[in-house]
Structure 1
């Protein structure tokens, strides 16, 4: 046993030791006084009850005398009833020696005298000869006084017996606590050790961890979260590897084309202007692809680092949609895909204009990659919300791709799944930084639909 298991075991044993110490402190210091006060209270209540009945029925009532005798026998109490002159009219209780009787007579008469003056008395006295302690009680009855003498030796004996019992209980408790602490600390630490081993594996790049920890407590929840984290990290690692491969391919292809056509321009084209212009156009297109790739990577990096923070301003979404659509006119002409804009007036929101432009560009650019003939950008206002929606007439989003379509590095497996897999992830990060709602689905024509909405301003 070592580490956290040992510390937990020690902590549990210290807790048990503190509890036992408190119990012993209570037994040694407080128990006898507490038990005595309870017994004194019980005797006082009973004496007061009998005194009230004497005042109501008189001491000559047979049932009352029977009750007094029973009380005297059960609790070993000496009871005396006195008239207003202090003369004894009734007695109940065991026989005592002459010395003890004199002791009782002296102190009973003292408390009776006080009771006849209207006081309720309880007093503890110690007999010098025997060392015994006695409780003397007296209370007025209306026509005299009722007095009682109770030996306190049984109280002390009971407290002593309880102390002996506590000694046995302490030994048993310590043994049981030792065994339970050892077993429970081991069971408690076992899942923590599993989580520690899993964390070490993940630190070394092995994300395939087995954390089968059952239960509904915090440690089990941590184990499940660690397992999910391992799955996500493993998936992210695979996506990063795919990204590196994709970027290598995406960089190599335009660079090869640029180099090839540049060499052709230098060595072959000569004065053929048509051929030269076509080759220059290809070089420019491939340069744009490289710029787009670099821009996506830089944008994602800025969003991750927090360097790209929203600077809110009033944005006219109709004007923004029209302005962004102009960027795609050349692409629309080259591909033959029509870009349609349907925008309502008075659709203003509070957002960062540059970042909203980037989101719109990414959504429309994604639609062009998958559309066959048409891309529709619509801006509408409904119930205080302004919504920008981008629809294409491609093959739509598969059920497999839909839950992960916004993940970074992820590219769908369908037709048109080119690029870095960062465009939609960038849009997602920007929209979440603004607190806007967004989503993706398939539209009625079977194509894909991407949208986001914000409160109108």
Structure 2
């Protein structure tokens, strides 16, 4: 598996995201919980020390009474000293004895009524915390008023002789460290479990995401090789399935284009071969002097002329379409009467329709000149091509209907034939170059499939559009619109 593949990158991104979240959570939780437990422990020990100090200040305990009720942890050490730092009571430790001095470095703060908080290794060399509070000499009758306020706020301006000693409680930090280690161990197991589960899920997601892309890529390679029968069958998210359908449709379109290209080459080869064979054959007859009479010579020359014109028309259609698509042809816009152009075009195409006993009927629904602003010569070309196409695909003894009308600022023209029609399968491709939806029975008007493509290119160059409606066996109708001419 390549390191730069989508599958590896997706898997790595998911795992990295989970790792970052877990590491940040572990750091936050251990740091937060350690701080929380530490501060909670300090508050509890300080409250115990104050309870003892208040009781001693009111003479409710003497130094021979144990202070077990105030001890939350059996490992705590309680030390009571007088105002000089001499131990008057101690429990929980054999390292110090009554009468020894303790906490001299904290004495100044204690005599100022301040509490002290420090860390040491007094308990069997383990990390521990020491909390010390002063003992304030009070009278029971005054405790609820002035002395309680004095004790709680430690007013420094009062007489120092009121602080008669201190209470120290030393408690080990080992339970806190054990708790922190337990949390870290728990997070380690969670961490490892989450990585394993996340890896499985990430691999599954990466596979489900990349597998369709691999299939699409393989299909694209096959299409690039010319294998347009490639099909992709995907069961994935809607977006990827849509992409697969697009590739399938692309293959279908390319297959159609390839078929059209082959047909075009075959058609062009056939169409060019016919006039070229006529030109060559009759030219050889003329050169060899085989035309015995003037009539025969004139006949052969007319055939050469007709085939030359036919050949030139084919070449002109191909070059014309290329020029339109390249944008090298400039439209010459001018106002003209669509009604007049349609009538002249009908007169020109009528002899072609008469050969098949087809009548051409025209209806101007508005009865006016239908002034348009467009390139008149190009529009004539469009009408000729549409009428020639209608004659080509109409049944003998049928009718071709042309209608025109004005709607708002547009002039609409529709050409309808009664012929073989265009199948629904062919409709999306009739505007493609070299595409012929059907074969005309009239070989004299057989084309090479450029007419409709030229028509659409010219209409679109005017910023307008052309539509088609067709029913097989009933006929086809083409409608286009152009901007009407406004004198203002």
Asked if TM exceeds 0.5, the reply is yes
Counterpart of 1:370 in structure 2 is: 393
Q: 1:97 to 1:315 in 2, by over 3 A?
A: same
Aligned alpha-carbon RMSD (Å): 4.8
**Post-superposition shift, 1:260?**
4.5
Q: Is 2:127 the counterpart of 1:129?
A: no
Q: Secondary structure at the match of 1:328?
A: helix
**Post-superposition shift, 1:450?**
1.0
Q: Is 2:79 the counterpart of 1:99?
A: yes
CA deviations on 1:11-69 (whole Å, 9 max, x unpaired) are 533652464255335534x434433566699999xx9xxxxxxxxxxxxxxxxxxxxxx
For 2:473 and 2:219, locate their aligned partners in 1 and report how far apart those are by CA, in whole Å.
47
Q: Which runs of 5+ in 2 are unaligned?
A: 61-66, 81-88, 91-101, 134-143, 153-168
**Post-superposition shift, 1:366?**
1.0
Which of 24, 28, 31 does residue 29 from structure 2 map onto? 31
Counterpart of 2:247 in structure 1 is: 226
**Post-superposition shift, 1:242?**
1.3
Q: 1:283 to 1:378 in 2, by over 3 A?
A: farther
CA deviations on 1:144-163 (whole Å, 9 max, x unpaired) are 5697x998956654433221
For 1:328 and 1:287, locate their aligned partners in 2 and report how far apart those are by CA, in whole Å.
21
CA deviations on 1:307-339 (whole Å, 9 max, x unpaired) are 346647345334543554565366457666555
For 2:425 and 2:25, locate their aligned partners in 1 and report how far apart those are by CA, in whole Å.
69
Counterpart of 2:320 in structure 1 is: 299
For 1:133 and 1:269, locate their aligned partners in 2 and report how far apart those are by CA, in whole Å.
135
**Post-superposition shift, 1:196?**
2.9
Q: 1:142 to 1:336 in 2, by over 3 A?
A: farther
Counterpart of 1:13 in structure 2 is: 12
For 1:25 and 1:160, locate their aligned partners in 2 and report how far apart those are by CA, in whole Å.
17
For 1:88 and 1:421, locate their aligned partners in 2 and report how far apart those are by CA, in whole Å.
119
Which of 406, 413, 422 does residue 438 from structure 2 map onto? 413
Q: Secondary structure at the match of 1:191?
A: helix
CA contact (8 A) 2:371 2:484 kept: yes
For 2:327 and 2:145, locate their aligned partners in 1 and report how far apart those are by CA, in whole Å.
94
Q: 1:278 to 1:181 in 2, by over 3 A?
A: same
Q: Is 2:293 the counterpart of 1:270?
A: yes
Counterpart of 2:2 in structure 1 is: 2
Q: 1:99 to 1:446 in 2, by over 3 A?
A: same
For 1:206 and 1:414, locate their aligned partners in 2 and report how far apart those are by CA, in whole Å.
28
Counterpart of 1:449 in structure 2 is: 477
CA contact (8 A) 1:254 1:286 kept: yes
Q: Which runs of 5+ in 1 are unaligned?
A: 48-71, 115-120
For 1:169 and 1:397, locate their aligned partners in 2 and report how far apart those are by CA, in whole Å.
68
CA contact (8 A) 1:393 1:447 kept: yes
Q: 1:267 to 1:331 in 2, by over 3 A?
A: farther
- Structure richer in helix, relative to its length: 1
For 2:347 and 2:305, locate their aligned partners in 1 and report how far apart those are by CA, in whole Å.
18
**Post-superposition shift, 1:387?**
1.0
CA contact (8 A) 1:349 1:455 kept: yes
Q: 1:443 to 1:181 in 2, by over 3 A?
A: closer
Q: Is 2:419 the counterpart of 1:394?
A: yes
CA deviations on 1:107-142 (whole Å, 9 max, x unpaired) are 9x97x979xxxxxx9x965466354348999xxx99
Q: How many residues align?
A: 409
CA contact (8 A) 1:391 1:443 kept: no
For 1:184 and 1:34, locate their aligned partners in 2 and report how far apart those are by CA, in whole Å.
34
CA contact (8 A) 2:46 2:131 kept: no
**Post-superposition shift, 1:456?**
3.6
For 1:309 and 1:113, locate their aligned partners in 2 and report how far apart those are by CA, in whole Å.
102
Q: 1:18 to 1:41 in 2, by over 3 A?
A: same
For 1:287 and 1:133, locate their aligned partners in 2 and report how far apart those are by CA, in whole Å.
113
CA contact (8 A) 1:386 1:456 kept: yes
CA contact (8 A) 1:76 1:93 kept: no
Q: Secondary structure at the match of 1:440?
A: strand
Q: 1:174 to 1:40 in 2, by over 3 A?
A: closer
For 1:124 and 1:353, locate their aligned partners in 2 and report how far apart those are by CA, in whole Å.
102
For 1:132 and 1:347, locate their aligned partners in 2 and report how far apart those are by CA, in whole Å.
104
**Post-superposition shift, 1:237?**
1.2
For 1:445 and 1:8, locate their aligned partners in 2 and report how far apart those are by CA, in whole Å.
54
| TM-score, with length taken from structure 1 | 0.69
CA contact (8 A) 2:405 2:411 kept: yes
**Post-superposition shift, 1:400?**
4.9
Counterpart of 2:166 in structure 1 is: none
Report which of the two structures shows the higher radius of gyration computed on alpha carbons: 2
Q: Secondary structure at the match of 2:122?
A: coil
**Post-superposition shift, 1:346?**
5.5
Counterpart of 1:313 in structure 2 is: 333
For 1:375 and 1:288, locate their aligned partners in 2 and report how far apart those are by CA, in whole Å.
27
Counterpart of 2:96 in structure 1 is: none
Q: 1:322 to 1:276 in 2, by over 3 A?
A: farther
